[in-house]
């Protein structure tokens, strides 16, 4: 075979390969466009939430929430049909990230689980009330991780990275750390729809961009807000068994029933990793604040600050995945701990009680 013939073959193969990639990309883009144009099947909670906030396409939008709370009719720019569908999909993703209520997870949740190692994670576990937690009277709650208030902060200085991060990049950190997963592309439809929903919440609640609101972030609890008893593992273990184990399980591996997560994992492979801000040894103020404001369910703000710090300290000493920055040796150590410790603890607990060890967490044996 001559050199010129070989060159022609290589050029032809290159052209065919490029054409194949182009056709594949065109096909995938067409699929995504069909999803964007399809009607959205809302989760029951999203039906209630978006109905209460009066989401509809039109030239103008007026928030029923603002009208009811203040009597003012504040008119904002309206939403197109495409905008409404993006907001609806974003609400579904926050409420049902794993797609348990979806007929087709890939289509209805943008295959969100491809970025998530945890089988328990739902955005609503942290951003409760589908990103807009309120009390029975409709009052927004301090330190409730409101998505609307977070969006209104716009580009925000992040004290952990030292960077000025837009809302989309702050979302991406949740997938890396809180879900022990992978970083989505910033232009992914998953990020776009959650952003659309968060922006809608800020409009529905009349939150002005650039302002700080009490419900933005977690109301953190530093050691200075306690009686200076020090964070105690033994107290934390006793408190966890008394107040938390009934939902999250004796080893904090979470609880599943009929394929649904009843209480998410606080330790083990389905929990956040050692790089998350929930990890007490990385940030010692955030997890105690979340516990005090939200736990036990429907009984937030009932635990003393010291108890919340003790529980958070205990939880963070349980085995969990390493973060991306810890390196392979730490990751291997944590994997061994997550594999070996749970059965050993079950055996020792059974030996103390004289019972046969039975694992009830996550609805299956471990």
212 vs 119: CA distance, rounded Å: 33
Q: What is the pLDDT confidence band of residue 365, given thresholds at 50, 70 and 90?
A: very low
219-278 residue pLDDT tens: 899 999 999 889 999 999 999 999 999 999 999 999 988 878 899 999 999 999 999 989
Q: Which residues pair with 62 in a beta bridge?
A: 75
pLDDT at 9 over 90: no
Q: What is the pLDDT confidence band of residue 356, given thresholds at 50, 70 and 90?
A: low
Task: Tell me if 284 sits within 8 A of 223, measured CB to CB.
Answer: yes
4-13, 61-70, 155-164 — which is least confidently predicted? 155-164
63 vs 86: CA distance, rounded Å: 18
Cβ neighbour number for residue 179 with a 10 Å cutoff: 25
Residue 76: enclosing H or E segment and its boundaries? strand 75-77
298-348 residue pLDDT tens: 888 999 999 999 999 999 999 999 988 888 999 999 999 999 888 887 787
75-89, 213-227, 349-363 — which is least confidently predicted? 349-363
Cβ neighbour number for residue 246 with a 10 Å cutoff: 12
Q: Tell me phi and psi for residue 231, to 5 degrees.
A: -80, 130
Half-sphere exposure of 158 (CA within 13 A, CB side): 16
**pTM for the model:** 0.89
84 vs 163: CA distance, rounded Å: 32
Beta strands in the chain (DSSP E): 60-62, 75-77, 156-158, 163-165, 255-257, 260-263
Task: Tell me if 322 sits within 8 A of 330, measured CB to CB.
Answer: yes
Share above pLDDT 90 across residues of the chain, in percent, rounded to a whole number: 62
141 vs 242: CA distance, rounded Å: 26
Task: Tell me if 88 sits within 8 A of 71, measured CB to CB.
Answer: no
């Amino acid at each position: 075979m001559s050199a010129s013939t070989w060159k022609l073959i290589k050029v032809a193969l290159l052209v065919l390969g490029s054409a194949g990639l182009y056709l594949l990309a065109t096909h995938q883009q067409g699929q995504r466009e069909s999803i964007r144009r399809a009607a959205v099947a809302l989760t029951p909670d999203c039906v209630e939430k978006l109905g209460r906030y009066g989401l509809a396409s039109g030239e103008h939008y007026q928030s029923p929430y603002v009208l009811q709370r203040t009597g003012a009719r504040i008119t904002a720019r309206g939403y197109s049909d495409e905008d409404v569908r993006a907001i609806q999909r974003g609400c579904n993703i926050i409420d049902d990230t794993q797609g348990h209520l979806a007929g087709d997870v890939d289509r209805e949740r943008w295959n969100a689980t491809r970025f998530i190692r945890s089988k328990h994670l739902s955005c609503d576990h942290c951003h409760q009330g589908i990103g807009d937690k309120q009390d029975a009277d409709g009052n927004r709650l301090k330190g409730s991780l409101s998505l609307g208030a977070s969006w209104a902060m716009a580009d925000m200085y992040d004290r952990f990275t030292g960077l000025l991060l837009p809302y989309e990049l702050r979302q991406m950190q949740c997938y890396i750390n809180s879900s022990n997963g992978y970083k989505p592309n910033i232009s992914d439809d998953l990020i776009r729809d959650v952003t659309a929903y968060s922006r809608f919440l800020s409009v529905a609640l009349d939150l002005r961009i650039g302002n700080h609101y009490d419900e933005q972030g977690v109301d953190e609890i530093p050691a200075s807000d306690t009686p200076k008893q020090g964070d105690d593992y033994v107290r934390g273990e006793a408190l966890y068994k008394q107040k938390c184990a009934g939902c999250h399980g004796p080893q904090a591996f979470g609880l599943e029933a009929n394929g649904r997560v009843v209480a998410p994992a606080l330790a083990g492979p389905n929990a956040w990793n050692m790089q998350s801000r929930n990890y007490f040894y990385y940030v010692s103020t955030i997890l105690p604040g979340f516990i005090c404001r939200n736990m036990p369910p429907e009984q937030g703000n009932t635990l003393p600050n010291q108890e919340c710090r003790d529980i958070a300290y205990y939880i963070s000493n349980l085995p969990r995945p390493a973060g991306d920055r810890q390196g392979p040796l730490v990751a291997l150590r944590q994997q061994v701990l997550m594999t070996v410790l749970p059965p050993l603890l079950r055996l020792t607990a059974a030996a103390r009680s004289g019972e046969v060890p039975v694992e009830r967490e996550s609805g299956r044996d471990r």
